Structure 1
Amino acid sequence: MKRSDVVADTAIALLAERGMRGLTHRAVDEAAGLPPGSTSNLARTRAALLELTLARLTEREAEALSGAYEGDHEGGHDPERLPARLAEALHIQLSDSARTLARYELALEATRRPELRAIYDRAGRRFRDPAVAMLAALGSRDPVRHGRAMVAFAEGLLFDAIAGAGAVPTREELEQLVRELLAGMLGQEAARRA
């Protein structure tokens, strides 16, 4: 594994465990078992460390969620399998709450750092754009609005289960929730296909 990945993965774990205040160059070195100064040699400033961490987090989330966003072999999205694939993506996010907590920390920090906001927004498009494409393929009359709503639904569900007072839904409950969401967006006939 590359040293930059070790540093970023350690930073992700520290963000989840200690929050933004607990993320320092020294803390990363200590937690990763690296010689003092290793992290600052790789990411000279705090901003550089945050950017490195966000880039790695985006990469890890894209890998974890790739199955939910991939089209089927014939180039389309199988509406019969879509709710199960999206439920699986949510289940993956819920099962790795540390990664999701780190993303929340970075999201809040991005509201105060324009340079991080730009990276965060680009990363968000990697997840929103496929949602829009999936909904367009299913016949949404407004795939952009519905794609945003689907992402907002997913984020709200994750936040409630991880940081809020909500319970963690089962994979079956997640699939039913996705089916109900699609029914509301696409109408009953299209949702039956999903």
Structure 2
Amino acid sequence: MATRTTGSARADLITDAALDLLAERGMRGLTHRAVDERAGLPQGSTSNYARTRQSLLEATVRRLAEREARVLAPGELPAPGPSAPAGQDALIAGLALALHRYLTRHPELLVCRYELALEATRRPELRAFFDATGRQFREPLVALMTAAGSPEPERHALSLVAWCEGLMFSCAAGSYSRSVPSEAELRTGFGELLRGMLGH
């Protein structure tokens, strides 16, 4: 029996099904018909919600960002404030907690992110949309680096993001997939990185 949903609940059902398919089958497996089947909806439901493939991809990127925000929980990080050892330790602990939670509980979202990021390299209109959704994670990091006393917060935020991205790829799709760091190891890594950049 088809699942009966309306409004935002149906949108979430469709885009969650799209993410499931991306993680399981890759970009080739993401079709309107396959989403209908995975979501348990009547044929044509996904087309009514997202008429074109581009609109389906954009909706999927938006849903991925929503789910990542719940996992990474930027709101859990300490509020930007005067730089101090205790504040820096809190930032390091918060970053380590968020990244460990992502790596250990939601690796399928990382696979989806890579599928969509690669597709965005071939679709300029999706690239702009993909980058825009990423600002919700990048801008808070710039603010935190500014508050921590960074003389170049944009550059240091980029270094922080690049370190995290490299670690996530290595653990989700690279040669460290069976060697996910512990939360303590991540705290050590973040500490080395931040103290190296900030000089204290």
Q: TM-score, normalised by structure 2?
A: 0.88
Matches of 1:36 and 1:71, distance apart in 2 = 46
> Is the 8 Å Cα contact of residues 8 and 53 (structure 1) preserved in structure 2?
yes
Q: Gapped runs of 5+ residues in structure 2?
A: 1-7
Alignment of 1:132-171 (within 5 A): 132-166=142-176, 167-171=179-183
How far, CA to CA, are the matches of 1:131 and 1:155 in structure 2?
14
Other-structure match for 1:90 = 99
Q: Output the amino acid matched with 1:13.
A: D
Indicate the residue corresponding to 2:185 in structure 1: 173
**Shift, 1:68, TM fit:** 5.8
Deviation at 1:67, TM superposition (A): 4.4
The answer as to whether partners of 1:54 and 1:120 remain within 8 angstroms in 2 is yes
Q: Is the CA contact 1:69–1:131 (under 8 Å) kept in the aligned structure 2?
A: no
Residue 85 of structure 2 is aligned to residue 76 of structure 1: no
AA aligned to 2:169 is: F
Alignment check: 8 A CA contact 2:14 2:46 kept: yes
Q: Secondary structure at the match of 1:81?
A: helix
Partner Cα distance (1:23, 1:67) in 2: 29
Partner of 2:13: 6
State the 1:27 CA deviation: 0.8
SS at match of 1:165: coil
Residues 65 and 92, structure 1, Cα contact 8 Å, conserved in 2: yes
RMSD: 1.5
* SS of residue in 2 equivalent to 1:2: helix
1:69–1:130 Cα contact (<8 Å) kept:
no
TM superposition shift of 1:63: 2.2
Q: Structure 2: how far apart are the matches of 1:96 and 1:68?
A: 19
Q: CA deviation at 1:92?
A: 2.0
Number of paired residues?
Answer: 186
Give 2:50's match in structure 1, choosing from 43, 47, 70: 43
Question: 1:70: Cα distance to partner?
Answer: 4.0
Residue type at the aligned position of 1:76: G
Instruction: Kindly state the Cα deviation for residue 64 of structure 1 after the two structures are TM-superposed.
Output: 2.0
Distance in 2, matches of 1:138 and 1:179, equals: 13
Correspondence 1:16-27 to 2 at 5 A: 16-27=23-34
- Return 5+ residue gaps in structure 1 as ranges: 190-194
1:164 aligns to what SS in structure 2?
Answer: coil
**Which whole-Å CA distance do the structure 1 matches of 2:101 and 2:119 have between them?**
24
Identity within the alignment, %? 55
- Paired residue for 1:63? 70
